[in-house]
Amino acid sequence: MIQNTFLHLPHIGQTKEQRLWQQGVRTWNDFLRTESIHGIADAKKAFLDLHVKHSQQALFDGNSTHFCVLPSVEQWRLWSEFKDEACFIDIETNYRNDITVLGISDGTHVWQFVREHNLDPREVKRVLTQFKVLVTFNGASFDLPIIRRYFNEVLPDVPHIDLRHAGARAGLTGGLKRIEHELGIARADNLQGVSGADALKLWHAYRSTGNKKFLNILLEYNAEDIVNLRPLADIVYARLHEKTSKVLKEPSP
């Protein structure tokens, strides 16, 4: 999907991108092969050709940072090319919005950093710098701003796919647990019905009693929040790709 994308080019918005598609300019190669494009002056076309070539090289090099200029709502288009180098992030907080658990997963392995135990910004940064795309659920509004406030310069300069907003465009609305239930993404029996509000209570119970049973349940809950984002990302991408492909194939009016 990213090679059908022109939104990261200077002065190309959604309307102009769709006009390119309608003219049969549906890929970067199409753009470079087409000498003259309606609506783009020849001098500007030469300028945009350079940007397209830079994008091709960036994709070949695996340089996801090049595509950070994509509108945030369209960064889902990078999923297919970078999904094997993506990480999933979720935090838990206390009643003051301090981070209690910061979980990171590549879809298989899970790293968890716990307040007053191992919540070390250097280690968090070391793990995050392995990845080329960040994936969250509602992270644009919650997780990432809190991480930035809590730890300066821990998050890498790479694209961010927020599955709450991308999912809504794919017809998946509501909270993460509701969407998981709708899609048949299962959680462990002992975590059925556990919510974000319960995560706050679990941390408070752990800090009040010192009983690690509460912390272990919180860590299980956090781990499922991030591991379950991988199949959700696949589903959201497939739906949005299908939806966008229909627009790609529409003839010029």
Q: What is the pLDDT of residues 164-219, one digit of tens each?
A: 999 999 999 999 999 999 999 888 877 877 788 889 999 999 999 999 999 999 99
- My answer on whether 56 and 170 are in the same domain is no
Residue 187 belongs to some domain of the structure: yes
Residue 218 belongs to some domain of the structure: yes
Res 247: pLDDT: 83
- My answer on whether 102 and 212 are in the same domain is yes
Instruction: Give the whole-angstrom CA distance, residue 45 versus residue 211.
Output: 65
Domain count, the chain: 2
Residue 249 belongs to some domain of the structure: no
- My answer on whether 41 and 102 are in the same domain is no
Q: What is the CATH number of the domain that holds 43?
A: 1.10.150
Instruction: Give the whole-angstrom CA distance, residue 90 versus residue 103.
Output: 5
Each residue's pLDDT tens digit, 228-237: 999 999 999 9
- My answer on whether 18 and 137 are in the same domain is no
Residue 74 belongs to some domain of the structure: no
Instruction: Tell me the pLDDT band of 252, cut-offs 50, 70 and 90.
Output: low
- My answer on whether 192 and 223 are in the same domain is yes
Strand (E) positions, the chain?
86-93, 99-105, 110-114, 133-136, 160-162
User: CB–CB of 179/172 below 8 Å?
Assistant: yes
Q: What is the CATH number of the domain that holds 110?
A: 3.30.420.10
Q: What average pLDDT does range 139-150 have in this prediction? A: 95
Q: Which amino acid is at 53?
A: K
Choose the most confident range, by mean pLDDT, from 12-16, 53-57, 186-190. 53-57
Query: For residues 172, 174, 180 and 183, what is the CA-based torsion angle, rounded to 10 degrees?
Result: -30
Residue 72 belongs to some domain of the structure: no
- My answer on whether 84 and 49 are in the same domain is no
List the domain range (segments joined by +) for residue 29.
Answer: 2-61
Instruction: Give the whole-angstrom CA distance, residue 82 versus residue 109.
Output: 17
Percent of the chain having pLDDT more than 70? 98
Residue 49 belongs to some domain of the structure: yes
User: CB–CB of 105/227 below 8 Å?
Assistant: yes
Tokens of 157: 């300069």
